[in-house]
Amino acid sequence: MEARPGLEDSEEFINVFSVRVSATAGSIALVCALASAPAHAVGVAAGTSINSTASVDYSVGSVAATAASPTVSVTVAEILDVVVTAPAAAVPVAPGSTAQVLRYRLTNTGNGPEAFSLVLDNAIAGDNFDPVAATPSIYLDTDASGTLTAADTIYNGSNDPVLAADAFINVFIVNDMPAPLVDGNIGRSSLAAQARTGFGAPGTPFANMGVGNTYAVVGNTGAAATGVGEYLVAGVTVSAVKTQAVLDQFATDRPLPGARITYTIVVSATGTGSALNTVFNDDIPANTAYVAGSMRLNSIAISDGADADAGVYETTPVPRVRVALGTLTQAGGSQTIEFAVTIN
């Protein structure tokens, strides 16, 4: 940062007051091991000393002199603040499903290290159903993987996560879903965190509870925060509609021996969820024979062999066609499968 004063003013002061530069002191001494901590959300680290020293220049007669004041120190007290961030999107669940995980983020937005107690609440007004807490139901993301793993720690009410200023930890809530649920229903689950030192109205002081025996003071968050996560019942129904067209050797539609029957099957998904790994199976009808190479998916020919494309014609256990359709959603639209047989 480079600075220069307005020229006129600078000259004026130099002429009139013969201003001298004197080193004024304002130094900083960290009294705890937070020197290497990253920038702090709510300000200077608790326990920091803020120092100030004034100086004076003067003259008596023609003799100049200078003097400094004793250094005045103010210690930065601890602010207690916490933020709980709920999952950004609702977690899709099926009715009756178990161990459904919501990921919250707990951030110490205060300026000193703090332990936080955690409480799960599933009885939240305004939703369609109450998730049922699994046992155990709260995990700390000990390995910082972002997903619930075997290495993560069960929270038992006494092993509070201790976070440095500005640090965060992921917290997982695990719930089971009730069975009778309707597609589109929402169930909410909240995670509440409170600073162990204390919480309450912003400004509430706790004497000698802060870093280095300073005051700890409740910050703007009240030193308590709640994040509300959502489960969305995402049901999906897959339906298939099959039609047939007969073409005999006389170019009519009579089902004579030797006539060819072309089947068209439209597969579609309805509902808010996703149908995963959807596979279409159709046995070849009795007294008919599959027409080799007749399979098509969305008007594109697919081979009979078990290969890279989605379709395969199998002879065991019974002759049938199989088409792997992958993930189906209502938004993704329908899939059209065609194959042909001849009448024996």
Partner 1 sequence: MNTGKNVLGLIALAAYFASPGAFAQSPADGCITLTSIAEIEQQVVNEKGEKSSKLVPASTVVPGVEVIWTVTANNVCKKPSDKVTINNAVPAHMTYVANSATGPGSDIVYSLDGKTFGADGQLTVSENGATRKARADEYKHIRWVFRDSLQPGATAFARFRAVLN
Q: Which residues bind partner 1 (CB under 8 A)?
A: 1-6, 9-10, 13, 17-28, 40, 42-44, 48, 50-61, 63-65, 67-72, 74-79, 111, 210, 214-215, 217, 219
Identity of the residue, 44 or 133, whose beta carbon is nearer to partner 1 in the bound complex: 44
The answer to whether 302 and 294 are in contact (CB under 8 A) is no
Closest distance to partner 1 from the beta carbon of 211 (Å) = 10
Give min distance, CB of 65 to partner 1, in A.
Answer: 4
In the complex, least distance from residue 77 CB atom to partner 1, rounded to whole angstroms: 4
Nearer to partner 1 by Cβ, of 9 and 317: the residue is: 9
Q: Cβ closer to partner 1: 58 or 251? A: 58
How many residues make up the chain in this entry? 344
Amino acid in the structure at residue 15: N
Nearer to partner 1, 9 or 308 (CB): 9
Instruction: Please give the helix or strand (H or E) that residue 15 lies within, else none.
Output: helix 7-17
Q: Indicate the residue among 40 and 103 with the shorter CB distance to partner 1.
A: 40
- 203 or 293: whose CB is closer to partner 1? 203
Q: Which is nearer to partner 1, 5 or 157 (CB)?
A: 5
Asked if 264 and 297 count as a contact pair (C-beta separation under 8 A), the reply is no
**Least distance to partner 1, CB of residue 74, Å:** 5
Read off the amino acid at residue 190: S
Rounded CA-CA distance 182/237 in Å is 12
Q: What element of type H or E holds 324? A: strand 320-329
Would you call 166 exposed, middle or buried from its count of C-beta atoms within 10 A (0-12, 13-18, 19+)?
A: middle
Q: Please state, in angstroms and rounded to a whole number, the distance separating the CA atoms of residues 326 and 61.
A: 96
Q: How far is the CB of 224 from partner 1 (least distance, A)?
A: 17
Burial degree of 330 (CB within 10 A; 0-12, 13-18, 19+): middle
CA distances from 171 to 85, 93, 118, 131, 197 (A): 10, 19, 9, 17, 20
CA-wise closest residue to 77 among 216, 266, 230? 216
